[in-house]
Structure 1
């Protein structure tokens, strides 16, 4: 046999190599996401944590949410009820004696989409709706948003897919179910046998890999507490199939380590919702812009410090105002974020139409801070620290999520500012799942807790500011008013905003509410955040929303651009 010449062999090798260039790239079966926090629970009703919302955006969909245009959109409903389409209807409210009470209520009718299933193949039905309402409104369950469930006076069931929510008032959000989360009745009913123990008995806590707990394009298949969550495709999902077979969400609490993991390939993507801070992302982009894509999204994210108003020092509004006057928030924004995260004077973001710009402000003024502290009785100074005449030391503690480099840096900056006016502040931080799952939820921080609220557009602060929303042992730590703020005028304004359908009249009420908030200062406002999304070049289709419903609610639109198919 004649051997091929060297020239022929070389030609054959070149041909083979060239043909391989035209082979379609194999699609990635797995996407690994890095985040700085781990959820305290995956139960959608218990504990308000952004990282839980992020994970459940892939695995547990709600009846309706806000979309990218900041307008409500159906997820598991066929259409939103309105007075125009007849799915919303007014009715006269009667008093206890059956006589007209002088106000109107509203019935809003929803129909669950055909093909809605839990991850074990069980259909989503009105039985789940009724059970979820039962859990949410029970005073001992300990849900985050108790008021939303208790304000529903009845749910009328028409059939397995159609139900009507009855409320004895019409509010401006009448055509959405709000944060009404669905629970699988066939799995969770036993865990709810003792409502006060539900948060520890729920399968989302004891057996989170149970397929039937989820109804999104993915379901949780594996979880290692504090380390990672694995999600796989939900075979009973009837919507657009997601591109990746598996999603792994890794918790890397230190942001410097998060960067290192991205560069090493241990993770593919840093989630903007709980990843690098803006300053870190900007620096990272300067070094690696050719390797990664970057998306910067300002949004309704409010970084602030919650005061525990049961602390006798912080119960004095003069002290709270002094603490704000003592810090240069503009310098913090300029030096740490190049001015890209504006100073907040209240909780409502200028991006939201309800924002009121003429608020009381507290510019950097150490002399004014000192005068307020003197007025509040902290006039005696020993070793640079203020004392009361009886010798009580002006000493406070601040807490936040450990491992978040920028928060820890901000704490140190604030500590130094406050020291200049004679306030001693010590720092004690905790992992996010402990900080949010125990300390903030149970109001166990002795003085100050720094974190962010992420809200929906025109979000009514009923669960965070209303007097009945203060978490206590008696209500099993329901509600999110962790400051313990109680003000009858704030309650009145929140109630008035809620039932005002005229947008311009509501704008005026919002102005009053925000002014009262900035006057009373139940919290110390810091700045409005922007989120930084750091993506590999091949990951496409991700669109941040800028509000509380994260990008993962549309994860079925994410794709690997190297997949030729």
Structure 2
């Protein structure tokens, strides 16, 4: 009898530690990650997974405030951990002291130390490693190791967001150094995050990857070395269902428990779903810094002409699209800066639906109405464009059809060619293989300078290991100057003026064609609570330990 009481006590302890009798949570998303490396390729689905398995040094929280996660304290000038200094070339730089949490350990028990920090810095600074935010590492001209947990970053640029190192995603030196050292130029294709993703030493978050079914699902289990509150779910299964109609069907059948808002149902689907099933599920709409747009391939001779880009935008009735497809919940975008962001300005060139203006611009650019109703240049070549997006995303496919139809009325032929998300993001977009237009969304943090996406030094190429995210190939000297000036301006009012000029330049030059700002539709079972979407690029999984299961 006594032994039975002991067993009951143990079971009760397990129950209290892990929530109401440890359960699984099955999450549906519309993408499968192109890879699991935290710094190679930018993709929503991957960020969502890494929110479960890792923690950044710094991050913007749901209140849009910068906080520490892997570090113990934000360095500031007030606490003495940020110190202005002269950087090479006489630049105004800053020295930043960070300390790693003393209880941070990789999933194999190895402590997270400054050896990992130094290795991450070395990978980031290698010109052909393929990391996305290579510019951040280039700015960090020196790294001092103080001890096992403390390090000093010397940044050559003292900017307003000087202590935000959100993209410095630490790598496990004890596992990855050997792979990187073998051949840095092919590292992106040989990293253990791809070849051995279930290795526990790759994770130091609440969960670690236990099993991967490529293109289908990722099974994560609790990480025993996690330092924080024990998450309520013993396992989380992420199922990738790239067709959003099938994603909804899987939710209704019980194959999945919830649908992630940042990579889930389109807004029109969510609105219809709520009308039919609002008694069973909670649908939460979160407006945020999610910019739906068309990246323009500026190497395409037709699209290199600004007048053609402007004509394409004048030829679209985006207001009608927002009303008919999204019940007006997704406002039309004039630039990439959301009205919720304090730096936003309305004083930019605005492209209301004006087919006559669009036609005049095309005429001026040398594209005249011709045979077959298509506009043709002086050589008789028709104006033909290729439009690509993520296959299976019903919302984007509907938008594509509208774009195709409205541009056909201007005499422009548009061919639609979609791909699975992991191919579209992992190969086509990241390596600039799209011929004309790529439809997708950027998710940003508050007041986020667009260096990676708009600066001329951030154009991916084979020579730089496909680093950078300026997929359009946009080159504009004044844009470069404004980005540099914004990053280095500490005065809030002066910075605001620079931001306003940048937005006006963006609206004139149109390196991308703005469409809408998304409102994410999160769909949760009514027994699930504690999820707090941020409205920006930090995934909700970064706070998974706060999620709660109210089932009896």
TM-score by length of 1: 0.93
1:164 alignment counterpart: 152
Of 97, 105, 110, which aligns to 1:117? 105
The correspondence of residues 342-381 of structure 1 with structure 2, limited to 5 A, is 342-381=331-370
Question: Given the alignment of the two structures, is residue 151 of structure 1 paired with residue 145 of structure 2, yes or no?
Answer: no
Task: Report the equivalent of 1:53.
Answer: 47
SS of the residue 1:245 aligns to: strand
**Residue-by-residue CA offset, 1:178-197 (whole Å, 9 max, x unaligned):** 31110000000111021111
Q: Partner of 1:334 in structure 2?
A: 323
Structure 2: how far apart are the matches of 1:93 and 1:301?
A: 35
State the partner residue of 1:207: 196
Which residues of 2 match residues 19-418 of structure 1 at below 5 A? 27-93=21-87, 95=89, 101=90, 103-193=91-181, 194-418=183-407
Deviations 1:43-93 (A, max 9, x none): 001000011000100101111111111011100111100000000011234
1:458 aligns with 2:447: yes
Higher alpha-carbon Rg: 1
Cα distance in 1 for partners of 2:321, 2:223 equals 45
Q: CA deviation at 1:104?
A: 2.5
Aligned 8 A contact 2:344 2:500 in 1: yes
Q: Secondary structure at the match of 1:120?
A: coil
Aligned-pair CA distance for 1:303 = 0.1
1:401-440 matches, cutoff 5 A: 401-440=390-429
Cα contact 1:27–1:560 (8 A) shared by 2: no
8 Å CA contact retained: 1:28, 1:560: no
Q: Deviations over 1:246-290 (max 9, x none)?
A: 000000011110111001000000011100011110100000011
Partner of 2:324, secondary structure, is helix
Query: Per-residue CA shift, 1:112-145, capped at 9, x if unaligned?
Result: 1111000100000000000001011110101111
1:355 and 1:511 in contact (8 A); partners too: yes
Match of 2:13 in 1: none
Q: Secondary structure at the match of 2:262?
A: helix
State the Cα distance separating 1:176 from its structure 2 match: 1.9
Report the secondary structure of 1:273's partner residue.
coil
Cα distance in 2 for partners of 1:300, 1:165 equals 29
The corresponding residue for 1:18 is none
Is 1:171–1:500's contact at 8 Å kept on the other side of the alignment? yes
**Whole-Å Cα distance in 1 between the matches of residues 290 and 102 of structure 2?**
35
TM-score of the pair, normalised by structure 2: 0.96
RMSD between aligned alpha carbons? Answer: 1.2
* Matched residue count: 535
Distance 1:382 1:514 in 2: 39
Q: Structure 2: where are the runs of 5+ without partners?
A: 1-15
Does the CA contact (< 8 Å) of 2:87 and 2:155 recur in 1? no
**Aligned position for 2:4:** none
Deviation at residue 26 of structure 1 after TM alignment: 5.1
Q: For residues 453 and 93 of structure 1, what CA distance do their matches in structure 2 show? A: 32
1:389 & 1:316 partners in 2: Cα distance?
15
Mapped contact 1:307–1:483 kept (Cα < 8 A): yes
CA distance in 2, matches of 1:207, 1:120: 14
Q: Could you tell me how far apart the structure 2 residues matched to 1:144 and 1:177 are?
A: 14
User: In structure 2, how many angstroms separate the alpha carbons of the residues matched to 1:70 and 1:160?
Assistant: 31
Structure 1 residue aligned with 2:6: none
Q: Residues 229 and 41 of structure 1: is their aligned pair in 2 closer, same or farther, counting only changes over 3 Å?
A: same
- Is the CA contact 1:148–1:178 (under 8 Å) kept in the aligned structure 2? no
Rounded to whole Å, the distance in 1 between the matches of 2:20 and 2:290 is: 38
Distance 2:523 2:88 in 1: 55
In structure 1, what is the Cα distance between the partners aligned to 2:29 and 2:88?
A: 50
2:369–2:411 contact (8 Å) kept in structure 1: no
What do residues 502-526 of structure 1 show as CA deviations (whole Å, max 9, x unaligned)?
1111000000111111110011000
